[in-house]
Amino acid sequence: MSRFHAPIAEQIWDMKYRLKEADGTPVDGTVEDTWRRIARALASVEQDQALWEDRFYAALEDFKFLPAGRITAGAGTGRAVTLFNCFVMGTIPDTMGGIFDALKEAALTMQQGGGIGYDFSTIRPRGAEVKGVAADASGPLSFMDVWDAMCRTIMSAGSRRGAMMATMRCDHPDIEAFIEAKKDPARLRMFNLSVLVTDPFMAAVKADGPWELAFGGRVYKTVQARDLWNRIMRNTYDFAEPGVIFIDRINTANNLGYVETIAATNPCGEQPLPPYGACLLGSVNLAALVTDPFTPHARIDEAKLADLVAMAVRMMDNTVDASRFPLPAQEAEARAKRRIGLGVTGLADALLMVGLRYGSDEAVAQTSAWMKAIARASYLASVGLAKEKGAFPLFDAKAFLASGNMMGMDEDVRAEIATHGIRNALLTSVAPTGTISLFAGNVSSGIEPVFAYAYTRKVLQKDGSRTEEEVVDYAVRLWRELKGDAPLPDYFVNAQTLAPLDHVKMQAAAQRWVDSSISKTINCPEDISFEDFQEVYLSAWDQGCKGCTTYRPNAVTGSVLTVSEKEPKPEAQPQTGGEVVYLSEPLDRPAALEGQTYKLKWPGSEHALYITINDILIAGHRRPFEVFINSKNMEHYAWTVALTRMISAVFRRGGDISFVVEELKAVFDPRGGAWMEGRYVPSILAAIGGVIERHLIAIGFIAGEGLGLKSDPKAEIVTSLAKAEGAPKSVCPSCGSHAVQMKEGCMSCNDCGHSKCG
């Protein structure tokens, strides 16, 4: 009998977590084999391996403890992968050599699939003097563009996607440009952005006082704090970024404040980490622990919960020793502090099963009680490991217990730590659990409310056909099994119907007992007023949250529109003035065309490239029709022919094809670019893009450099809006279905489990 509660769970296991040979032959015959593989790998560092393997297997069985996807997919495979999810890279030096050394480290980490965070506040602002070279600094955003290109290059090489987080302090002179960077729809697509908001800044906001933007002891500008806050809020309201991180609160609470300063987080925000900090993740499935659900006696046995937490802590502590790391500095940091991030999933389902409405005062109290029980159990379990295996190397009892987080811990736990030490410096976190929640039978994700109680999923069959199946929330499925066709009670609420401030209350209740942070999306209705939207962030600050992430669907953020296959193709229309023409059929080539040939000499190359661009005349306007790229270097033959055919095919379909320029100019060569005519060009393909751009300017197709479209407009024609229970959806880049939704700060596909945040 299958252990899976839903077909989607088995499909997620087969696609993402099941160990297979290189040719696709399964090694894990069943999910029990997967659990056994993980248990054996994590027990390999124990003296009595057989004993702990059986105990670890029991914790994994029936989806009670869910290690993060990297552990589930990688442990015991023998593959050179990291089992850690989260990395914050080293402090970026304010020198050209140091910046590009940091870029190399980021590429090596991302190559192994790690999500990385960076604080760009350490780079001098745009226009600052660069001594010794008689030049002005280009500023941190220009280097973020380089990181962005690197990430695209790593992705194009076929590696597993690792997301990036960029942070900047609220007092950096370039903070205003950082706040508005995502207004450009083509810029920094590989980054999540968050502003590091300090306590003095929030005080200045509330007092409507002045705020200095400074770097290196020099004040560059003074603004009104409330004006800067409003700019953050307005861009978040309109463009869904930047997020807000209350950085002073994080450092004050940090158990390790005596040996580290945090200035960045991992991409989803649940792990504030120091330079080279690394953390692994895992979740206790609260929904699987409720006894007598939907009865007056429904409850979670806290003794059994404590036992499961203790086992999970031991497994995750062992993972520190069993994992590989992309960089030696990350391994040293992880072993010195032994940070782990144990969280929960299925919270909303568990609340439903005990009869509580998510966001109610009773649910807030129950959430706080469960999270406190987990915190106590995890800290006491780590003390037990310290007795057996020793405390983490940088443990200092007096300094550790003086931290803001530990000052709020129960006295008996503090006494145990003072006497015996503790194995892990930090223990709790709430991570995005979208995929592992599907794997566990579609339990609610993390501490989020249920996103949709049921939806229809399209499944691609082996013969190419598609069938439909209903995907039902775990608690709803259980209700149906126990109650038949009885209607769902009124306390069943979902993310779309929940008031934003109820989200905040739940996040704050959980944060009280989480020593790291929480990945949580506060869903806001599209018609929420700007004033009410700002109130969400101020309420998060007032209630003790460490950060805030919202999602308000709208036309700018892509409230997510899909293309209907039934929609008729647009007819070709005559072009007048600067209007765009979209063609149902490619243009026919006239017998003769006017054009221009350009010579491109790439530094270090023996032979030049010759680029010919021919134009067609439509309604009195010239537009590019075809391109030819030639070279005497036969090593260039295949790719120049391919580029010739592809670009020409795009030109002949009509419309505004200037996005081709921007795509070529964004290509980054990992071997290095070159300086041409006083500017750095990241690749020979980018140079070709520059030639085409100059031609488009010369014929009047675009107004100037950098003014081409950033993406293909035809690929973004809006023809229908797909919604499920009010939830906007988009096209999944993995499976192509229209089933992508924003959950826990990640765009996740309900059909295949693909997640933007990795």
Residue with tokens 């800067």: 228
Indicate which residue of 192, 251, 266, 494 is catalytic.
266
Indicate which residue of 86, 268, 749, 757 is catalytic.
268
Structure tokens at 486: 């009885």
Residue with tokens 């990241």: 682
Q: Is residue 725 annotated as part of the catalytic site, yes or no?
A: no
Strand-pairing partners, residue 66, are 283
Query: Is the sign of the CA dihedral 5, 35, 283, 355 positive or negative?
Result: positive
Per 3-state DSSP, what percentage of the chain is helix, strand, and coil (rounded to 5)?
A: 40, 20, 40
Structure tokens at 728: 């906007």
Between CA 574 and CA 258 the distance in angstroms is 70
| DSSP character at residue 497 | T
Residue 680: which of 151, 146, 153, 128 has the closest Cα? 146
| CA end-to-end distance (rounded Å), the chain | 31
Whether residue 317 contacts residue 385, with contact meaning beta carbons closer than 8 Å, is answered with: yes
Strand-pairing partners, residue 212, are 222
Q: Is residue 614 annotated as part of the catalytic site, yes or no?
A: no
Whether residue 498 contacts residue 358, with contact meaning beta carbons closer than 8 Å, is answered with: yes
Residue with tokens 């580290």: 260
Q: Is 154 helix (H, G, I), strand (E, B) or coil?
A: helix
Residue with tokens 């950098």: 706
Between CA 208 and CA 202 the distance in angstroms is 10
Whether residue 752 contacts residue 735, with contact meaning beta carbons closer than 8 Å, is answered with: yes
Whether residue 254 contacts residue 403, with contact meaning beta carbons closer than 8 Å, is answered with: yes
Indicate which residue of 241, 260, 270, 448 is catalytic.
270
Residue 631 has a CB neighbour count (10 Å cut-off) of: 18
Between CA 380 and CA 437 the distance in angstroms is 27
Q: Is residue 630 annotated as part of the catalytic site, yes or no?
A: no
Structure tokens at 147: 């990181």
Q: Is 755 helix (H, G, I), strand (E, B) or coil?
A: strand
- Interior angle at CA 458, CA 454 and CA 462, nearest 5: 140
Q: Provide the residue count of the chain.
A: 758
Structure tokens at 362: 């009773």
H/E stretch holding 670 reads none
Q: Is 706 helix (H, G, I), strand (E, B) or coil?
A: coil
The CA-atom distances, in angstroms, between 140 and each of 183, 235, 710 are: 17, 19, 21
Cis peptide before 242 (omega within 30 of 0): yes
Radius of gyration of the chain from its Cα atoms, rounded to whole angstroms: 27
Strand-pairing partners, residue 566, are none
Whether residue 723 contacts residue 729, with contact meaning beta carbons closer than 8 Å, is answered with: yes
Structure tokens at 136: 């002005």
Positions marked active-site: 266, 268, 270
